[in-house]
Amino acid sequence: MRDELERVVVPGADTAGERAHRVVLAAFAAREPVPRPHRTRRIAVGVALAAVVVGLAAMSPPGMAVVDRVREAVGVERAAPALFSLHGGGRLLVTSDDGLWVVEANGKKRRLAPYGAASWSPFGRFVVATRGGTELVALEPDGAVRWTLARRDVHSAVWGGTRTDTRIAYIDRTGLRVVAGDGTGDRLLAPAEEGPLAWRPGGGNQLAYVSGSEVRVQQTDTGRVLWRANRGPVERVRALVWSDDGGRLLVLSTHALSVFDGAGRELAHVEPDGVGRYTDATFVPGTQRVVVLLNGTDVVLRDTGQTLFRGSGLAGVTPAPDGRWLLVTWPRADQWVFVGPGGRLRAVAGITEQFRSRSGFPRVEGWCCS
C-alpha cells in the first residue's frame, strides 16, 4: 500500500514547495529577533508555520524539502529556552555589547564588566581583556582586577605559556607588543602589525602572527624569528590556530585554508569550490583534525568531508576542551547549537536576550578547560 501511495502524483506538488518557501521566507524576513517577540505572538506564528509545513510534508517530496529549509531559517526545533548547562563542561568566555561574561559548566553566568575581546590564560586561571580601546586588563574569573596597562587603540590580546611562565601578546597603535603575565616587561615585538595572534602551546613563548604576505613564528623573549612562510592569497587572515600539541598551525582566510607543520612546511592548502568561502575553522582538541565552517552554512570535518551540522547564517565553531562537543553559533536563529557524539544536537534559544545584547550577536571568545 505504501509503495502505491508514494507513486500517486499530487496535482500542483511541484510548485507547492516553492510557493510555501516564498511565504515562509517573507515571514522570516519580517520578524525582529531583538527584542524578542511577545510569547503569545511567537506561539501563534509558530503554529501557523507548523500548519503550512505539516501540510506540505504530507503532500509530497517537494514538501519535505520545504521542511528542511524552514528548519534552516528558524533554528533547531525544541531548543531549550535558557542555557541550563554547557554540553562538554568547562567554562566559556562570551562578549556582547553589554560586556564580558563567564559561563560555568552548570549554566551559571557572571557579567564581569564592559570589557571587549578577551582570552583565557593557560589552564583558565585568569582572563585578559581590553576596555574602551585604551586599557589592557588582567583579571580573575570572578572579575577581580589583578593589573591594568594603559595603551592607545589596544586590541587582540591573547594569553599563552605554562602554569608558571606566561606571556600576553596584544596590538596597540605602535604594533605588536608582549608583556609578562604579571604585567611586567612590556615591550614592542614588531611594529605595524594588526593580528590575529596565536601562542604555540607549551613552553618556549613562541608566537604566530601575520606580517604582510608572511606567517611568522617568533620567540618573543629573544626576538628570534623561528620560521616564516608565504601565507598565500593577499587577503585578511581571519584566524591563526595551533593544534593542542603545537605540531600544526592553521591559517584561515576567506578563500584559503593552509596547514603548516611545526617547522613551517606547508602540509595542505585548500580553497573552497567556486564562489564558496570559509567562515571559520579550528582543530579538534587532542587531534590534528580540522573542522571548517563553509559559506556560513555547513560545519564539515575536513579530512573526511563529513557534514556535522547545517543551517543558514551560521557564524562560528568552538570545540569543547575534551573535543567531544562542538558549539555552533547561529545568529540568524538566535541560537547556540551543541553538536555532540553520534550527531546529538542540543540547542539553546534566545542567546541575545540571555547576554543582554541589543545590537549584535554574542561572541564566544574561548572555551576552557577540560
Please report, for the domain that includes residue 278, its CATH number.
2.130.10.10
Position 142 in a domain: yes
Helix (H) or strand (E) holding 45: helix 39-59
pLDDT for res 274? 81
178 contacts 194 by C-beta, under 8 angstroms: no
The burial of 245, by beta-carbon neighbours within 10 Å (0-12 exposed, 13-18 middle, 19 or more buried), is given as middle
For the segment 283-308, the average pLDDT, to the nearest whole number, is 95
pLDDT for res 74? 66
Kindly state whether residues 136 and 204 are assigned to the same domain: yes
17 has a pLDDT exceeding 80: no
pLDDT for res 370? 66
Specify the length of the chain in residues. 370
Domain that holds residue 289: 91-368
For the segment 53-58, the average pLDDT, to the nearest whole number, is 29
pLDDT for res 231? 81
* pLDDT tens sequence across 56-86: 233 233 333 433 444 455 689 899 999 999 9
pLDDT for res 93? 98
pLDDT for res 174? 95
Q: How far apart are CA 116 and CA 133, in angstroms?
A: 8
144-153, 231-240, 300-309: which is most confident = 144-153
For the segment 141-148, the average pLDDT, to the nearest whole number, is 96
Kindly state whether residues 54 and 145 are assigned to the same domain: no
Kindly state whether residues 44 and 146 are assigned to the same domain: no
44 has a pLDDT exceeding 70: no
Structurally, the chain folds into a number of domains equal to: 2
Kindly state whether residues 328 and 205 are assigned to the same domain: yes
Q: How far apart are CA 312 and CA 29, in angstroms?
A: 13
Whether residue 341 is preceded by a cis peptide bond, meaning omega within 30 degrees of 0, is no
367 contacts 336 by C-beta, under 8 angstroms: no
Grid cell at residue 301: 570535518
Percent of the residues in the chain that have a pLDDT greater than 90, as a whole number: 71
Give the pTM: 0.80
Query: pLDDT band at 39, cuts 50/70/90?
Result: very low
Q: List alpha helices for 225-306, DSSP H.
A: none
Kindly state whether residues 157 and 296 are assigned to the same domain: yes
252 contacts 270 by C-beta, under 8 angstroms: no
Kindly state whether residues 38 and 118 are assigned to the same domain: no
Least confident of 17-26, 158-167, 226-235, 276-285: 17-26
Kindly state whether residues 62 and 95 are assigned to the same domain: no
Query: pLDDT band at 193, cuts 50/70/90?
Result: confident
Kindly state whether residues 97 and 70 are assigned to the same domain: no
